[in-house]
Amino acid sequence: MTGADELLLRELTPAVIGVLVRRGVDFATAEDAVQEALLQAALSWPDGRPADPRGWLVTVAWRKFLDAHRSEVSRRAREQRVEDEPPPGPAETVDDTLALFFLCAHPSLTPASAVALTLRAVGGLTTRQIAAAYLVPEATMAQRISRAKRTVADVRFDRPGDPATVRRVLYLVFNEGYTGDVDLAAEAIRLTRELAGRARDEETAGLLALMLLHHARRPARTRGDGILVPLPEQDRSRWDTALIAEGVGILQAALARDRLGEFQAQAAIAALHADAPRAEETDWPQIVGWYDELLRITGSPVVALNRAVAVGEADGAAAGLAALSDVDPGLPRYAAASAHLHEKAGDLAAAARLYADAARSAPTVPERRHLTGQAARVGQALRT
Amino acid sequence: MAKYLLLKHYRGAPKGVNDVPMDQWTPQEVEDHIRYMNDFAARLEGTGEYVDGQALSPEGTFVRFDGEGRPPVTDGPFAETKDLIAGWMIIDVESYDRALALAGELSAAPGAGGEPIHEWLELRPLMGTPPTVTE
């Protein structure tokens, strides 16, 4: 199975599920049948990709559905209706991908269930791949997916949904990072492109721009040994300029329509970082302006924390510490931000202590390593 | 989603309410206790929240390097060390509150007299992966 074949199968998945649903198969059963067809494709396509891949998948998935249906002990009245294969008609060419997006991000699902269902039904990933990406056993992920399917069993498939719920799910997938053999960040970008092509709204464009701009910096974000490289120290020649240009273009087109939202504001901040050829050329005053917008839109304490750091860069450490005094000290990464601002203000003793505190409470191993290194560096400066 | 470790202690946790050592239970009480634990794990697998669970033998050995070309030094077990882990369960749940609720439920496993043992379980977050979007 080549990578191109695998990608094509994943791209075709939502459309094929849509065809079966339009033929009267319920979503959960259709999704299972299409997964079976994907497995069969993985076995037989290496001998030669069929001339009409989508038609092939529809035919095989339909047969899988009929087989499963016939083998059920309780034959329902519906069976007679589906025995006769419906003639291909207009239904076969309708694109139901958007409807699937809405279904898989339905508000009745928990975030984790929505993520799992989206990756499988819209993304075409196998349960095994999703389980590996989220570091849980396959049996656990299988249960999560089948429960999610039961939860949305009665949701009308063709009801318009809320793109905001879909965006939240895709953002969660993107933010999961780069564990496992499936690149969730790349997968989130692929699915967000699909969504942006179908739901033309500024915030989806903003989310896509945000993802592209962050993805562009990925080669510079970690050293070979897994140590995090903070933004100011990143080797900017390793940023992907094509991705940055694309992200900035998408963002500018969205901002021009003057319907600002949180993802556009976040993307604007990412774009300003990407714009600076060197860290010291970063336009911090403009970044603070975008944080003000973001704070107005979301009221999020995490945004307030990041804003305080930006204020420290734009107006000096004292102003940053003043902005920090309004922020909840219980937030994750508060100590790290406070340490940075204290060091900037020249209070090395407080900075060393705060970096050590931040390292102890770091939520991830790479951050703990980085902060421990900062504490060691400042501690050494204190002693010399 | 966040992963948590539920730690059971042979020793080192505060005393539970119904604190009769397991070797003084009736065989039926032992069996009921184990069934409760297994049912709990099976239910979490069904809800898509179970990651792993293992029991540890109480007998352990301390080992340390003793210089190039020399065999490692072993010592212990140390009866006086305060902490002795009995086993763990790792769960992957939607929230901290859900983790608390599940830990409370596991602590209600039956013991002597068929009554809940109310043992103290330690709940520890696993360190996650860094988010993609940081600034």
Element counts in chain A: helices (H) and strands (E): 19, 0
**Helix pair A202-221, A241-255: axis angle to 10 deg:** 160
Nearest to A143 among B47, B125, B129 (CB): B47
Q: Note whether residue B69 is domain-resident.
A: no
* Cα atoms in the Cβ-side hemisphere of radius 13 Å centred on A384: 6
Residue B70 lies in a domain: no
Report the pLDDT value the prediction gives residue A76, as an integer from 0 to 100.
Answer: 58
Residue B87: burial class (beta carbons within 10 Å; 0-12, 13-18, 19+): middle
B118-129 in b/e form (b: 16+ CB < 10 A) is ebbbebeebebb
**CB B17, CB B100: distance < 8 Å:** no
- Comparing CB atoms, the residue among B47, B125, B132 nearest residue A214 is B132
Evaluate whether residue B65 is within a structural domain: no
- C-alpha dihedral sign at A201, A11, A184, A130: positive
Residue B64 counted as domain residue = no
- Find how far residue A113's CA is from the centre of its chain: 14
In this predicted structure, what is the pLDDT of residue A86?
A: 53
B118: domain CATH number is: 3.30.70
Per-residue pLDDT at B123 exceeds 80: yes
Which pLDDT belongs to residue A252? 98
pLDDT digits (tens, 9 = 90+) for B57-88: 888 889 999 999 999 999 987 777 768 888 99
Per-residue pLDDT, B18: 87
Structure-block tokens of residue A144? 């999560």
Mean pLDDT of B87-93: 95
pLDDT at A72: 65
- Given this model, what pLDDT does residue A13 score? 95
B132, part of any domain:
no
Shortest CA distance from A179: residue in chain B: B129
Could you tell me what percent of chain A has a pLDDT over 90? 76
Instruction: Give the other-Cβ count within 10 Å of A294's Cβ.
Output: 25
The CA distance from B45 to A141, in Å, is: 9
How confident is the model at residue A319, as a pLDDT?
A: 98
Alpha carbon distance B129, B134 (integer Å): 12
Distance CA A63, CA A102 (A): 27
What are A270-296's pLDDT values in tens digits? 999 999 999 999 999 999 999 999 999
Complete edge-to-edge strand list for the sheet that includes strand B50-55? B50-55, B84-93, B2-11, B122-125
Q: What are the per-10-residue average pLDDT scores of chain A (384 residues)?
A: 88 94 92 95 91 94 89 57 53 77 94 95 94 92 96 84 92 80 89 92 97 94 82 95 98 97 98 96 98 96 96 97 96 95 97 95 87 93 88
In a domain, B103, yes or no: yes
pLDDT at A157: 78
> Which ranges of A236-333 would DSSP assign to H, the alpha helix?
241-255, 262-275, 284-298, 301-315, 317-324
Contact A231, A279 (CB under 8 A): yes
Buried b (16+ CB within 10 A) or exposed e, A355-382: bbbbbeebbbebbbbbbbebbeebbeee
Give A89-93's long-range contacts (Cβ < 8 A, gap of 24+): A91/A19, A91/A22, A91/A23, A92/A19, A92/A22, A92/A58
Decide if B132 and A174 are in contact by the 8 Å CB cutoff: yes
Model confidence band, residue B16 (pLDDT cutoffs 50, 70, 90): confident
The reply to whether B72 falls in a domain is no
Please tell me the predicted confidence (pLDDT) of residue A164. 93
Number of domains in chain B: 1
Q: How far apart are CA A218 and CA A238, in angstroms?
A: 9
**CB–CB of B53/B89 below 8 Å?**
yes
User: Which residues of B fall within a CB distance of 8 Å from A147?
Assistant: 47-48
**Is B38 in a helix, a strand, or coil?**
helix
Using an 8 Å CB-CB cutoff, list chain A residues near B1.
Answer: 111-112, 134
Residue with tokens 């508060």: A334
Q: Which residue is listed with tokens 């939520």?
A: A363
Q: Tell me how far apart the terminal alpha carbons of chain A are, to the nearest angstrom.
A: 60
Here the tokens at position A26 are 């319920």
3-class secondary structure, B84? strand
pLDDT of residue B32: 93
Other beta carbons within 10 angstroms of residue A3's beta carbon come to 7
* Domain encompassing residue B90: 2-56+85-125
Mutate: best of A109, A119, A135, A243, partner B, most B CBs <10 A: A135
Alpha helices in A199-240 (DSSP H): 202-221
- pLDDT tens-digit series, residues A141-178: 999 999 999 999 988 877 778 899 999 999 999 988 66
Contacts of B92 in chain A (CB under 8 A): 112, 134, 136, 140
- At residue A84, the pLDDT reads 52
Q: What per-residue confidence (pLDDT) applies to B42?
A: 94
Cβ-contact B11, B83 below 8 angstroms:
yes
In contact, A338 and A310? CB cutoff 8 Å: no
Mark B27-61 as b/e (b = at least 16 C-beta within 10 Å). Answer: eebeebbeebbeebbeebbeebbbbebeeeeeeee
Chain A CB contacts of B127 under 8 Å are 362-365, 368
Question: CB pairs below 8 Å between A and B: how many?
Answer: 74
Q: Considering only residues A234 and B20, tell me which one the structure prediction assigns the higher pLDDT.
A: A234
Interface of A with B (CB under 8 A): 110-113, 116, 134-137, 139-141, 143-145, 147, 174-179, 185, 210, 214, 228, 231, 266, 269-270, 273, 306, 362-368
| pTM recorded for the entire structure | 0.87
pLDDT, residue B78, reads 77
pLDDT digits (tens, 9 = 90+) for B45-57: 999 999 999 988 8
Supply the pLDDT for residue B19.
85
B75 inside domain: no
